Chains A and B, each alone.
Chain A
Amino acid sequence: MTITAPTSPAAEQAVFGAVAASADRSWITTTDHRRIGQLHFGFVLGALAVAGALGFVVHGTVGGWFDQGERGRTTLLALLSGHEMAFTGLIALPIWMAAATMFVPGLIGAGRLAFPRLQSLVLWTWVVSAAVMASAFLVEDSPVGFIPTSAQPLTAQGPANRATELAIGSLMLAMIAMSLGAANIIATVVTERRAGLRFGSIRPFAWGSFVASVIVVISAPVALGGLFVTYIDQHWGATLLSEPGALRMWAHAVWAWGRPDAFVLPIVAVAAFAEVIVSRSGKPLINPAVANGLLGLAGALTFTTWTGMEYKLSAISAPATRPWTALVFLPLALVTLMALAGGRGIKPSPSLLAIGAPLVMAVGGLLIAYAATTDVTDAGIFQMGSANALVLGGGIIAMAALVAELGGHVYKRSLPTLLVGLALLLLIVGGLAHAVGPALAATTDDTSAAENLHLLAALGKAALAGGAAVMLLAILSSNGRPTSATAAHEEAH
């Protein structure tokens, strides 16, 4: 069998632009998956900028809030709640869904999603979710301490009030949207892929998205069920979440690090990194079937998070409580090595900053391993929470790099090299500072040094928000009329 070379510009333009001519030009009613994906990206990058700004305020002023006593602490926790909820509900998985919406149909030779209007519904559900989440912080008594990344059940975090119910409702909407979007990706890969394209031969990002979708379809409804229980418990002032045994339900269903879908972003991040290398080099991975098998194995291993019976409230990182869950990263590391082996001798490009994804995830993994060998105290809410976020942050970097690599086919002309490179650098440097600052701050007794390290984290969050803004700018600046070259390609096809 011969190797099909990945792609001349004209060939890829034909695949990615197969439905361009007939697509509805309206942004609202369009069925063109590329436009829907662009809207997804615009929404997610906007949410990332807002969440980054909230994180900047939290870390940059952490000492000041505590100086104001209980009121300051309450305000700090409300800001932290907004930051965490925006990240877990509106950024972490939606940024992958944006990339999958935009690129998966083209990568499997389909040129369309199985249900394009369903994907639009997913986007607008997220928009409503964001509005409900914002309203939770505008009503009286904002949700104090509803932090999905905290192992503390909700009743142990803050009081029941209308704002908390709104916050729970917004996350439920986000989970429903994620489930629907994942089902759409599964249906697209299973039924719309090019005739004769076997699962073992599907390109890395399309296959990684399929694996991630299967995980989401199985695990997100469990999170939805947990949030449903939480809502009823809060709304009727019940005591279910106050029971000692409630911790297991909370950890398996609501707590971000006790759920399989918490590991989705690292999987698609590695897949996106491999995709960038494949696209850049024009060669497939060493053994595509083995690489796809490893991604599938990583997906299967994520379900080991459900095998944990007891959870330590003080330990926030999943592998710290169940070491075998860390095995998820073994097949991902192998796929990364396979991609690196295929990347020798390729021409430099801003999209190659995708290497920042596995790099950042590796640093986060080391911090988590450190947590596993030490007794994490309550300060860990900043410490290891940031380390886990770093593992997820690799996903954001990878998705941005994927847009830089393949986005030229979607946005009709290549993204500006300078802006893309700047955005990726900001994301990588910001991601590292975001995690390393709090981790070091938790190890020092010097208050002044700790505040400076938190300031470093704040700057990291600002860099992440800035990176998102620059990436959005790069996308907007490329979404104009096609260049003469791409226009010629479209005309030819």
Chain B
Amino acid sequence: MAVATAPAPVAADDTRRDGSAMIVAVACAVVIGTMFMAAVAGNYISVRSRAGGAVWWQGTAKMKFNNYGAVTGFLSAAFASVAMEYAVVSTRAGIKKWSSAAHGLAVLTMLAAINLAWSIGRTLGFGVNDTSYATAVYTVIAAAVIVMAVSLVGIITSWTRVLSGQASDTNWLPVRCGAWMAHLGMAAWATAWATIFLYK
């Protein structure tokens, strides 16, 4: 079968630019964030499983795993995700005020989740270098905070688009991208919560 392999000459404005490139880029960002969290979580699970599972408690007698805080952090991040989905619906419906309010809620709740994660990290009751298990715990929490901070930047970027009128019922892809970033932030903390607090 003969197939064309060379591009025919085209004018510069003959290429597709419908905003879908941003969706692909954000999908890549979600993959990058997911694999980053998978790497540190995998390292944590590997450390925990060493020595017949006995490594995790060595030298960490004073440890305080605040599961209530971790759950609240997850719920906060989940609320941010839901708020961003609401922002998408509002934007598609052309209701800028509701979309903007949903963005504001998402920013506040994601900030709350980051604050909780930070607080949990400071009150674990053991130091980073106490044991290899301790190092792995701090690594997972710190990685989750970084990913949530990046997702917060995505939400704020989407918010500025709405406020400046660059996102509308005919051009709502930027808000969809912001929503994906919010989901990424939620998934990051969910990973930390599940690996450290649910199965310790």
A184 and B18 CA atoms in complex are apart in Å by 16
Q: Which of A112, A115, A191 is packed against the most chain B CB atoms within 10 Å?
A: A191
Please pick, from B35, B38, B50, the residue contacting A245 in the complex, using a CB distance under 8 A.
B50
A18 engages B2 (CB within 8 Å):
no
Q: Is A490 positioned at the interface, with any CB of B under 8 Å from its CB?
A: no
B35 engages A187 (CB within 8 Å):
no
Q: Is B198 positioned at the interface, with any CB of A under 8 Å from its CB?
A: no
B43 engages A192 (CB within 8 Å):
no
Contact with A along B1-35 (1 / 0, CB 8 A): 11111111111101111101110110011011111
Secondary structure of the B contact surface, majority rule: helix
B15 engages A221 (CB within 8 Å):
no
Q: Is A482 positioned at the interface, with any CB of B under 8 Å from its CB?
A: no
Contact with B along A200-223 (1 / 0, CB 8 A): 111100000000000001111111
A163 and B127 CA atoms in complex are apart in Å by 23
Chain B residues with CB under 8 Å of A179's CB are: 28, 32
Chain A residue total in the interface (Cβ 8 A): 76
Please pick, from B5, B129, B143, the residue contacting A288 in the complex, using a CB distance under 8 A.
B5
B24 engages A232 (CB within 8 Å):
no
A225 engages B40 (CB within 8 Å):
yes
Please pick, from B5, B12, B38, the residue contacting A203 in the complex, using a CB distance under 8 A.
B5
Chain B residues with CB under 8 Å of A184's CB are: 25
Q: Is B193 positioned at the interface, with any CB of A under 8 Å from its CB?
A: no
A228 engages B143 (CB within 8 Å):
yes
A3 and B132 CA atoms in complex are apart in Å by 61
Chain B residues with CB under 8 Å of A228's CB are: 36, 39-40, 139, 142-143
Q: Is A240 positioned at the interface, with any CB of B under 8 Å from its CB?
A: yes
Shortest Cβ gap from A127 to chain B (Å): 21
Shortest Cβ gap from B131 to chain A (Å): 7
Residue of chain A at shortest CB distance from B31? A217
A222 and B42 CA atoms in complex are apart in Å by 10
Q: In chain A between 77 and 131, which residues have their CB closer than 8 angstroms to a CB of chain B?
A: 106-112, 114-115, 118
Chain B residues with CB under 8 Å of A111's CB are: 10, 12, 15
Please pick, from A110, A220, A238, the residue contacting B135 in the complex, using a CB distance under 8 A.
A238
Q: A239-B132, A285-B5 are in contact. Are A221 and B35 (CB under 8 A)?
A: yes
Contact with B along A270-290 (1 / 0, CB 8 A): 000000001000001101110
Contact with A along B131-166 (1 / 0, CB 8 A): 110111011001100000000000000000000000
A191 engages B16 (CB within 8 Å):
yes
A109 engages B129 (CB within 8 Å):
no
A285 and B6 CA atoms in complex are apart in Å by 11
A225 and B127 CA atoms in complex are apart in Å by 20
B135 engages A6 (CB within 8 Å):
no
Please pick, from B39, B128, B131, the residue contacting A224 in the complex, using a CB distance under 8 A.
B39
Residue of chain B at shortest CB distance from A2? B2
Q: A183-B29, A236-B128 are in contact. Are A114 and B7 (CB under 8 A)?
A: no
B1 engages A197 (CB within 8 Å):
no
Known interface pairs A186-B24, A222-B39, A224-B39; 15 further A-B residue pairs with C-beta atoms within 8 A, sorted by A's residue number: A18-B10, A22-B12, A109-B10, A111-B15, A112-B15, A187-B24, A192-B15, A194-B7, A201-B4, A218-B35, A222-B36, A232-B138, A238-B129, A238-B134, A253-B43
Q: What residues of chain A have their CB less than 8 Å away from a CB belonging to chain B? A: 1-7, 10-11, 14-15, 18-19, 22, 106-112, 114-115, 118, 179, 182-184, 186-188, 190-195, 197, 200-203, 217-226, 228-229, 232-233, 236-240, 242-246, 248-249, 253, 278, 284-285, 287-289, 493
Q: What residues of chain B have their CB less than 8 Å away from a CB belonging to chain A? A: 1-12, 14-18, 20-22, 24-25, 28-29, 31-40, 42-43, 46-47, 50, 127-129, 131-132, 134-136, 138-139, 142-143
Cross-chain pairs A/B with CB under 8 angstroms, 22 sampled: A1-B3, A10-B9, A112-B15, A114-B25, A179-B28, A183-B25, A183-B32, A184-B25, A194-B8, A202-B5, A217-B31, A221-B33, A225-B37, A225-B38, A225-B43, A236-B128, A236-B129, A238-B134, A239-B131, A246-B132, A249-B46, A288-B3
Q: Sorted from nearest, which 4 A-B pairs have the closest CB atoms?
A: A225-B39, A109-B7, A183-B28, A284-B5
